[in-house]
Amino acid sequence: MKKLLLGLLCCVAASPAYAQQGPEPVKVTDLLKIKQIGNITLTRDGRKAAFTVLGIEPDEKNKADYKNVTQLYEIGTEAGARPRQLTAAREGASQPAWSPDGRQLAFVRTVDEKPQVFVMAANGGEGRQLTRYKHGAGSPKWSPDGRQVLFSAAIPLRELLNDSLLNAAKSLPRWPFEKPGFDKNDQLAATTAKPNADGSLAEIRAYLDKNETDKKAKVLTKLNFQDERDVSAEQSFSQFFLIDASAPEAKPVAVTNGFYRFNQAAFTPDGKHLLLSADIDSLQHPDRSLENEIYLADRDGRRPRLLLGQDNTVYSSPEVSPSGKWLAFQMSPATGVNVPELAVMPLNGTAKDIVIIPFDRSKGNLTWSDDDKYLYFTAQSNGGAPLYRANIKTRKVEKLSAADTGITSFDVARDKVVFSQTGVLNPSELLVADAGLKKVQPVGNFNDWVKTKRLSLPEKHSFVNEKGLAVEYWVMKPTGYQAGQKYPVVLEIHGGPSAMWGPGETSMWHEFQYFAAQGYGVVYSNPRGSGGYGQDFLRANVLDWGTGPSSDVLTALDKTVAEGWADPAKLTVTGGSYAGYLVAWIISHDQRFKAACSQRGVYDLATFFGEGNAWRLVPNYFGGYPWEPAVRQVLTRESPISYVDKITTPYILFHGDNDRRTGFVQSEMMYRSLKVLGRPVEYVRHPGGTHELTRSGDNRQRIDQMLRTFEFFERYINTKGEVN
């Protein structure tokens, strides 16, 4: 018996460190099983947490399709507590917010295609609809006395102009609307003229205006005329409102006003004031004004006082400490490529009192500890997104969670931290811990199905490039790897270009594991220009989107091939957005790949400037605009379309029909150019798809894109030994 036990222990010890040895491979349809935890919020006493779970369900309208549904859950923070589902309606629920006494929970649910705020008892039951606002309602927050709920709504300009409550004086924007020939915005004023195509000039204008209202024409006068899905002439303004939390027929009361965008509002702890984050500029059109300020107003929104604001500076993420003494925030230049600075100051102080907390990473989700001693936050760093806390007195930052995981949501109250985490062994799990994360307890079983899967575990490596920058990369062997055999490899590249990948990044968990299960090695890296490595690294691809970053990702591949198991004759490459650009750049300068895939890419930077809503990347990274001769020369040099005649690699291109972030004309240019040249190219368009298709889009289209990429690679790699 002892010999048998010893033999078993030896077998366990000999298990390869590159894989979790479950009985089942990861399948493409496992994408539909992943549940994502988020929106964690604790009661003030730290005894209970509410959170959301995003899952994928069959669509009752079409059984072949799938829909995303978010529901609310709660869990106690005591030992042994288990999660409990609070909502189950098919409309779902999101954005939970506890009342100060922890007895009620506000949340958001869609009603008649508009989000509205609901309130339910903490122990569950049917939610009561609190708002019925015609513009919708979101981001609920309770007043400190629990009597009112603060919420936000986006008000279209046309309706704001005519709203008798929000604009009783029938005011017009003071900033220039930029309609040629109307220097004083007179065209926005109310008119008594009736629409008449054959009438007076005023009646013709009324007729044309009605055509716009009836969606017969889009008249563009604003700078940012593309949203995520379409070309849009609409202009809207986020405003905040208060509503009584208990009166059945309560009406919302506006606490912000004007033709400005308010992006954040919160009560001070004593309930006497509102902290506002907004860009209030009466001289510039909102599309041109890039700054953001922080204001302190009375509880009803009146008498706003500027706390922080100056030219070419963005002040953001304001959070008041529980005592009301301190204000935490971030600040950065309004233009360029930057890592925002974390800072604190007395709430009753001025800019002269600002204290910087040095930490050269992009930070998010600022949250105070109850005693004002610590400021918690998350930050992408070196392939993970750990939870950190800064000691306000010493300005020292402490990393609390593992470097190779990612904290996707968290909250802190009393001596408790509840957080959701992504990692190699679980795409999303819920954990309860003490304030210093010394004792951490996983709770719930939302993704326990992963335990039965064979997973490839990434191995971390690094090298120093010619600029002296340390570049990190990860290698995942096929889950069925056997020493002595050769395997195909897919080089995966991230977008941004300021994104960051690693074991603590959630969006690629399934794709990486799927390719590993199909017998591919997976290599991914964070080339120069990636986030998660500080400002100097972030700026290292300014004026150099192609040559430098491609050198970094190809060096990672070269070093992987040098390990001996990767087959240099069976290399593939794929990436989306900026990475779609970089794939095109690579295959126009390098012929090693058997097949390549670009998704929603940028291929001609001058065209991207016009057709993408992310157009400011052009001046931020290349220092100017396409009509400037020196800049035009750089844009031509850095555009893959300039080298399209050098592309001979079999190539599949993807784009969503409604992707307005990068625009889709460039992919049409790339495809047509390659067809004219007679090169092996295939072009896939996804109807209704936006730039977010692979992350939060139609789930059949997400599966379709992954399978089409794999199938295209197999035409040239043929890992299955099947005849085409």
Nearest-angstrom CA–CA distance, 690 and 384: 27
Sheet of 406-413, strand order: 406-413, 416-423, 426-434, 440-443
Residue 268 inside a domain? The answer is: no
424/543 same-domain check: no
Nearest-angstrom CA–CA distance, 578 and 549: 11
Q: Residue 458 phi/psi, 5° resolution?
A: -70, 140
Torsion angle in degrees (nearest 10) through CA of 38, 43, 47, 48 = -40
488/579 same-domain check: yes
201/326 same-domain check: no
Asked whether the bond before 629 is cis by omega within 30 degrees of 0, the reply is no
437-463 pLDDT per residue, tens = 999 999 999 999 999 999 999 999 999
Q: Look at residues 220, 251, 286 and tell me which one is the last residue of a structural domain.
A: 220
391/485 same-domain check: no
613/687 same-domain check: yes
Residue 673 inside a domain? The answer is: yes
User: Which pLDDT does position 718 carry in this prediction?
Assistant: 84
Residue 672 inside a domain? The answer is: yes
Residue 323 inside a domain? The answer is: yes
Among residues 40, 31, 117, the alpha carbon closest in space to that of 72 is found at 40
User: Which pLDDT does position 249 carry in this prediction?
Assistant: 86
**Paired strand residues for 239:** 153
Residue 530 inside a domain? The answer is: yes
User: Which pLDDT does position 22 carry in this prediction?
Assistant: 85
548/690 same-domain check: yes
572/708 same-domain check: yes
3-state secondary structure 425-465: CEEEEEEEEECCCCCEEEECCCCHHHHHEEEECCEEEEEEC
The total number of residues shown for the chain amounts to: 724
607/498 same-domain check: yes
User: Which pLDDT does position 691 carry in this prediction?
Assistant: 95
Residue 62 inside a domain? The answer is: no
Structure-token match 């931020």, residue found: 620
Instruction: Give me the domain span that covers residue 627.
Output: 457-717
pTM of the model: 0.94
514/419 same-domain check: no
In our burial notation (b when 16+ CB lie closer than 10 A, e otherwise), range 495-514 reads: bbbbbbbbbbbbebbbbbbb
Residue 12 inside a domain? The answer is: no
Residues 6+ apart with CB under 8 A from 22: 451, 452, 453, 454, 455
76-133 pLDDT per residue, tens = 999 999 999 999 999 999 999 999 999 999 999 999 999 999 999 998 788 999 999 9
Total domains present in the chain: 3
**Beta strand segments in 157-272, E:** 236-244, 253-254, 261-267
- Specify the CATH number for the domain of residue 625: 3.40.50.1820
User: Which pLDDT does position 20 carry in this prediction?
Assistant: 72
Residues 6+ apart with CB under 8 A from 480: 454, 519
Which of the residues in the chain have pLDDT under 70? 1-17, 723-724
Q: Look at residues 169, 201, 220 and tell me which one is the last residue of a structural domain.
A: 220
Residues 6+ apart with CB under 8 A from 457: 17, 18, 19, 20, 424, 476
Nearest-angstrom CA–CA distance, 312 and 279: 12
Q: Are 450 and 426 in contact (CB under 8 A)?
A: yes
Nearest-angstrom CA–CA distance, 98 and 121: 10
Nearest-angstrom CA–CA distance, 448 and 428: 10
656/525 same-domain check: yes
408/496 same-domain check: no
Q: Look at residues 397, 415, 432 and tell me which one is the last residue of a structural domain.
A: 432
User: Which pLDDT does position 488 carry in this prediction?
Assistant: 98
- Specify the CATH number for the domain of residue 322: 2.120.10.30
Nearest-angstrom CA–CA distance, 681 and 694: 21
480/372 same-domain check: no
Residue 131 inside a domain? The answer is: no
